[in-house]
Amino acid sequence: MTWIDEARAKYPLPAEEEGLLVNVVLASAVLSMLAAIVGSIILAALQGASLWDAVTFGWAAGIADALKVAWPWSLALGFGLGAVLLAVNAVGEAVALRGSRKEWREAIYEMRGGLSGELPRVTAWKIPLMMLAVAAVEEVGFRYALIGVVMAVAEPAVGFAGAAVVAVAASAAVFAIMHVQYRGYTTALIGVLGLLFGVVYVVTGALAAVIVAHWLYDVAVVFLEARKMTRDPRYFPNGHAPENAVEEELQKAASGE
């Protein structure tokens, strides 16, 4: 029995809610994929491809070339970076929960009462597949396309080093902003993770490495949260696990909150 199976047994997630949650994650991945493709087309054009080539095959060829860089060492690099990210997350959460800043603790509890409190209760085999889709499209979009475009525009003016700094910072900032479901301390954490992804990508050019690291991090965090959920009686401050977080999030989005 996995930790997720234990969490599902302790806090059952209604089948309808699980279906909605999976659909929301996949829909988000599709939207991110479309944005990543647009960014990749722009990058291909900036790198000298004709508009026709960029729109048809150039964008895909560029991604394929980036995935080849440092292979198979990128696999080991991805696992190493993933481990670093998990350590950063563990330290950050410990500081947030035990520190003096009440708003940081409240932000974590607020997330646990929403989608983050439901994801670790989704059927276990779905988690790696969903997280792979999320990791792949986000890294292509935020690292390959966004960093590539910013560097292509900025490098002639400020040189490689200056363009790299601007591109990594911009990618991390947009990465944090786009994860609007997070609050407080976690927004800062997402920004730090984005900086680490960006630095590794710019230094190595290994797109596969950051995808592997992102996927490993996301999967591990979900399983570890499931473990904490079953062992910490105070995981949910009110003692009740969320069962309709998707509907609540959709209502917030519709009302503009």
- Of 60, 32, 64, nearest to 137 (Cα)? 32
The sign one gets for the Cα dihedral 114, 120, 125, 130 is positive
Q: Do the beta carbons of residue 51 and residue 162 sit within 8 Å?
A: no
Task: Give the model confidence (pLDDT) of 69-122 as tens digits.
Answer: 988 899 999 999 999 999 999 998 998 888 778 888 888 888 899 889 999 999
For 187-221, how does the pLDDT look when each residue is reduced to its tens digit (9 = 90+)? Answer: 888 999 999 999 999 999 999 999 999 999 999 99
For the stretch 144-191, pLDDT in tens is 999 999 999 999 999 999 999 999 999 999 999 887 655 567 788 899
**Proportion of the chain above pLDDT 90, given as a percent:** 77
Question: Packing angle between helix 126-138 and helix 207-231, nearest 10 degrees?
Answer: 140
Contact 32, 137 (CB under 8 A): yes
Whether the upstream peptide bond of residue 12 has omega within 30° of 0, thus cis, is no
Cα–Cα distances in angstroms (integers) from residue 161 to residues 32, 50, 158, 199, 227, in the given order: 28, 27, 8, 11, 42
The whole-model pTM stands at 0.94
Q: Which of 120, 123, 103, 94 is CA-nearest to residue 245?
A: 120
The pLDDT of residue 252 is above 90: no
- Cα–chain center distance at 257: 22
